[in-house]
Structure 1
Amino acid sequence: MDTGAEEYAAAAAAMRAKLQELDEVNAQLAAAGGEKAVERHRKRGKLTARERIDLLVDRDAPFLELCPYAAWGSDFPVGASVVGGIGVVSGVECMIVANDPTIAGGTTNPRTLKKQLRLKDIAMENRLPMISLVESGGANLPTQSEVFIPGGATFRHLAEMSKAGIPTISIVFGNSTAGGAYQPGMSDHVVMIEQQSKVFLGGPPLVKAATGEVSDDESLGGAQMHARTSGLADYLARDEQDALRIGRRIVARLNHRKEGPAPGPVAAPLHSGEELLGIVPEDLRIPFDPREVLARVVDGSDFDEFKPLYGSGMVTGWARIHGYPVGIVANSKGVIFSEEAQKVTQFIQIANRQRTPLLFLHNTTGYMVGRKYEEGGIIKHGSMMVNAVSTSTVPHISLLIGASYGAGHYGMCGRAYNPRFLFAWPSAKSAVMGGAQLADVVTSVAKASAEARGLPFDDEKNELRRAAIEKQIEAESLPLFLSGMVYDDGIIDPRDTRTVLGLSLSAIATGPVESDRTYGIFRM
């Protein structure tokens, strides 16, 4: 790759502009509920959600924040009132989820719930101990119809994790009321803070209205009562720092060990990660070589390509990332033909036979269409690839770096195919098809329908409609829109790719890497 070329400079400039847009959203995340809400929170002697996480994780250890842009573009604050991700606590990789009480009291809205369920899924799939930093007013009442029924899954997950031997820990920093009381109630370990934690099914006003009983917060659900009388609290902390210290000691005593493969020797790539900024053109119709990405991500830039001369529109092969072995499937030419689909199917089977996790690098417009390709069996071969992805049991990671359209998104292990992690670069786009193509299809069908019925057709209005549809689809294809819907686990700076993938593979290795494949490799 010529980093001095004009094309490289243009691509890098476009990527930096997209990263600048992300920085503006990151500033909103850092501001939490706003200056006044944070100041009011601090006057109560409390730490912010991010400060609590900083004190919980090991010093200088990384924290891989997940789904940070949840709720972007919705009626709810970006971040969805909760901060979550993977951090190392007392030497153990844990899933940490912290309510942000500076945003609507940390209440749960529909996007909060969607994010929380995704974080719990990640913890369950990767056998990560779950630490909840609890301070929430429960359900966001105006949206209770969207939260109440599916919200029960959050407590079911806690029970399932405990049954599976995955530790669950709740540190209660404030209110945990009504249904939220079951968060500590269903956790294996519970820490409460003197004169600060409040856990009850019904607060004093509700109890008085329902039973006529007059009580106060402390006697009804305070930390002292739960530590001395009800037994709900396992540990009584003096203050927030003490509660976090106790939480770290709980993790240290879990005797929780990684069950997956240990990483091998680590070698830095031969090429600079800084150069990842200029690989993907702003116009995704312009092809680029995914090997240039791999050369700046995998250990020692060492990649053993599988079947390089057959189905060259897909790049498949073996590498290591931070010492962890991984099989890689990457789109090279955008369109997936029958040869590529068959090649990837075989490669996925081999990866399962070898119990090797798979990494998918997306840049596809989908499977090839046309009479010649239909006759050649593109549906059959594309279905084989989708089938292989669907039934593969080794861990998958997906990274959207360019286009990810149509059934190609499915065949490359999109969100619906349950990858352990799915991240996107700011350059990525994902939809049924590109905006221009989709708009052309819709308006062409409308025109043909009118002509078939002998109705007059206004070409000028149709062109305006086509432009409006294209604009809509382009907006809905952008990574921030999809991240706001919690369709990915985060948008990452390309230069952080190696680190994020390494942290993800390390988290995956908390549990065993297994495969139930018992058949030999067959060719199709």
Structure 2
Amino acid sequence: MAVIDSQLDTQSDSYLTNFRVMSEAVNEIRDIEQRVIDAAQAKAPRYIKRGLIPPRERLGLLLDAGAPFLELSTLCSYKQAEDTDGTGAGGSYIAGIGYISGVRCVVAVDDYLTKGGSIGPYGGKKRQRMMDIAMENKLPMVNLSQSGGGNLKLAGDTFGESGAMFAKQCRLSAMGIPQITVVHGSATAGGAYQPTLSDYLIMVRRQSTMYLAGPPLLKAATGEIATDEELGGAEMHSEVAGTNDYLAENDADGIRLAREVTQKLGWKADSTVHSGSDFQPPIYPREQLRGIVPEDPKTPFDMREVIARIADASEFLEFKREFDQGTLCGHITLEGHTCGVIGNNSPITARGAAKAAQFIQLCEQSGTPLLFLTNTTGFLVGTEAEQAGIIKHGAKFIQAVTNCTVPKITLIVSGSYGAGNYAMAGRGMGPRFLFAWPRSVVSVMGPAQAGSVMRQVAEAKLARSGEVTDKMRASVDAMEKETVEAMEARSNALANTARGWDDGIIDPADTRAVVAFVLSVCREGDARDVNTNTFGVGRL
């Protein structure tokens, strides 16, 4: 394959400005994440006195020391619903993909130190997303559970769909994908079904409780008086009801048991999957990725500069280079994993759409995963584009993206607008994983364009009404300004990740490591056979 000859001038003023602006955006993300951790840790001492281990320390005990862990959706729920100060980022839920006793798993820890571990709309969305990842990639799921349950103030907006979380648990079990849950605290009402729908259940003596109605509600509803232990204590569920499978002595012992159960699953990495050990790194430093995207989003850049800094040996076998320069297609290897790449250097033309659709079919034929590197204003418009069949070829592109069965991994590098978002495997098209760079934008159109459209509609309406006053003109000006500001506020990277539109914002410098990791997750999952059944494992 040809080595990409980078044209990036890393000493130019524009590069240095781009690097500085992107680094500031990365630091903003890291600062938000750290503030959430600091706010949680400030509450930890009083729980430690009660024998409880803080959530992130539980995570550390569960994971294999020194093994990679990819945390996902760290800013989900940021400043959404009741999170006015941003400390609810993460949705009271620490989750990602890591190794437990040598087994790659989806790992989830309720963050009881953040908002009491309560589940809001976006926290619930994040929980369901982790189950989807487990399903798609055939990964066992291990939960360390201690949640306050659903946020009752917000339940009216979400309850009708809340059963989907439990339905996905049932489907995971029926698919033959194990779920292991340690109950560290209280699991009440609907929250009691999450652990009991798991395939393996671990409770902690004199600490865990599970019941449909706690002592206060029971007394109010029926007049019966009972203790926590009588109603739903760990010993009762282990010795009397038979709900529990393993009885732990304390927090740490519960995590030890979770590691041992995971070890006994017989779920090691498939030996047929490429280990990714014999490869050459890119010839350009990964840190240079921070300086590629221009400060001004209207300034174009060559996506080959990104490819040069993530591909093994910076090699790129480009497909139909001469046919269309605006849509890049080609093959790379990434830490030894073969991968097809589709990227944007301009709006998507009819030729670019046809080229990309053909390339996707070739990757489908060979079973080659696809990486989408997105920076597009969408499909080209205008008389010439329409006569070239832009709608027809664009539809073929979207058909190919939607119906191909190979793993799709999407990275929003800069802009992702309109139907271009669909063609480049945006969230709605079901990619296996989707990540974003800081300062990226996902929107139906640019804020300025949206404001201009609204202005034109309003001005046309005023013109039909007859006399136009200065007050009316000022109203149109204000409406255009409000539209632009609203679009900007709801289309930036932070707003998008807060609503669960991606699996996390990543530092551009980490792109190669993150993509290589999820590529190996996809390959391992696709190579694994699972033992399915009809109804899942029933707790008898």
TM-score range, shorter chain: over 0.9
In the alignment, which residue of structure 1 is the partner of 2:344? 331
Q: Are residues 252 and 275 of structure 1, via their aligned partners in 2, closer, same or farther at CA, if it must alter by over 3 Å?
A: same
In the alignment, which residue of structure 2 is the partner of 1:519? none
What is the DSSP-based 3-state SS (H/G/I as helix, E as strand, rest coil) of the residue aligned with 2:343?
A: strand
1:93 aligns with 2:108: no
Q: Is the 8 A contact 1:70 1:486 kept in 2?
A: yes
In the alignment, which residue of structure 2 is the partner of 1:484? 498
In the alignment, which residue of structure 1 is the partner of 2:475? 461
In the alignment, which residue of structure 1 is the partner of 2:143? 132
1:499 aligns with 2:513: yes
Q: What amino acid sits opposite 2:331 in the alignment?
A: W
In the alignment, which residue of structure 1 is the partner of 2:536? none
Q: Is the 8 A contact 2:185 2:207 kept in 1?
A: yes
In the alignment, which residue of structure 2 is the partner of 1:107? 118
Structure 2: distance between partners of 1:492 and 1:419: 17
What's the CA shift for 1:257?
A: 4.0
In the alignment, which residue of structure 1 is the partner of 2:371? 359
In the TM superposition, what whole-angstrom CA distance separates every residue of 1:323-380 from its partner, at most 9, and x where no partner exists?
21111000012x1111100000000000100111100000000001111211221111
Q: Is the 8 A contact 1:98 1:132 kept in 2?
A: yes
Question: How many residues were matched structurally?
Answer: 512
In the TM superposition, what whole-angstrom CA distance separates every residue of 1:426-463 from its partner, at most 9, and x where no partner exists?
02111011111111111112112221343526334322
In the alignment, which residue of structure 2 is the partner of 1:143? 154
Structure 2: distance between partners of 1:266 and 1:250: 35
Q: Is the 8 A contact 1:28 1:78 kept in 2?
A: no
What is the DSSP-based 3-state SS (H/G/I as helix, E as strand, rest coil) of the residue aligned with 1:369?
A: coil
Aligned CA-pair RMSD: 1.6
In the alignment, which residue of structure 1 is the partner of 2:422? 410
What is the DSSP-based 3-state SS (H/G/I as helix, E as strand, rest coil) of the residue aligned with 1:366?
A: coil
Structure 1: distance between partners of 2:453 and 2:216: 58
In the alignment, which residue of structure 1 is the partner of 2:455? 443
- Ranges in structure 2 where 5+ consecutive residues have no aligned partner: 1-7, 529-540
What TM-score, normalized to structure 1? 0.95
What is the DSSP-based 3-state SS (H/G/I as helix, E as strand, rest coil) of the residue aligned with 1:456?
A: coil
Q: Is the 8 A contact 1:139 1:147 kept in 2?
A: no
What TM-score, normalized to structure 2? 0.92
In the alignment, which residue of structure 2 is the partner of 1:54? 60
Aligned residue among 180, 195, 199 for 2:191: 180
In the TM superposition, what whole-angstrom CA distance separates every residue of 1:278-310 from its partner, at most 9, and x where no partner exists?
000111111111111111111121211111111
Q: What amino acid sits opposite 1:145 in the alignment?
A: G
- Ranges in structure 1 where 5+ consecutive residues have no aligned partner: 515-524
In the alignment, which residue of structure 2 is the partner of 1:475? 489
Q: Is the 8 A contact 2:106 2:141 kept in 1?
A: yes
Q: Are residues 32 and 500 of structure 1, via their aligned partners in 2, closer, same or farther at CA, if it must alter by over 3 Å?
A: farther
Structure 1: distance between partners of 2:134 and 2:39: 24
Structure 2: distance between partners of 1:392 and 1:451: 49
The 5-angstrom pairing of residues 373-388 of structure 1 reads 373-388=385-400
Aligned residue among 113, 116, 126 for 2:127: 116
Q: Is the 8 A contact 2:33 2:89 kept in 1?
A: no
Aligned residue among 50, 63, 72 for 1:66: 72
What is the DSSP-based 3-state SS (H/G/I as helix, E as strand, rest coil) of the residue aligned with 2:9?
A: coil
Structure 2: distance between partners of 1:92 and 1:336: 42
The 5-angstrom pairing of residues 139-218 of structure 1 reads 139-218=150-229
Q: What amino acid sits opposite 1:68 in the alignment?
A: T
Q: Is the 8 A contact 1:257 1:510 kept in 2?
A: no
Q: What amino acid sits opposite 1:117 in the alignment?
A: Q
Structure 2: distance between partners of 1:173 and 1:317: 49
Structure 2: distance between partners of 1:22 and 1:471: 21
Determine what percentage of the aligned residue pairs are the same residue. Answer: 41
Q: Is the 8 A contact 1:58 1:88 kept in 2?
A: yes
Structure 2: distance between partners of 1:363 and 1:512: 29
Q: Are residues 284 and 108 of structure 1, via their aligned partners in 2, closer, same or farther at CA, if it must alter by over 3 Å?
A: same
What's the CA shift for 1:29?
A: 2.3
The 5-angstrom pairing of residues 71-82 of structure 1 reads 71-74=77-80, 75-76=82-83, 77-82=88-93
Q: What amino acid sits opposite 1:468 in the alignment?
A: E
Q: What amino acid sits opposite 1:429 in the alignment?
A: V
Q: Is the 8 A contact 1:177 1:202 kept in 2?
A: yes
What's the CA shift for 1:32?
A: 4.6
What's the CA shift for 1:104?
A: 3.3
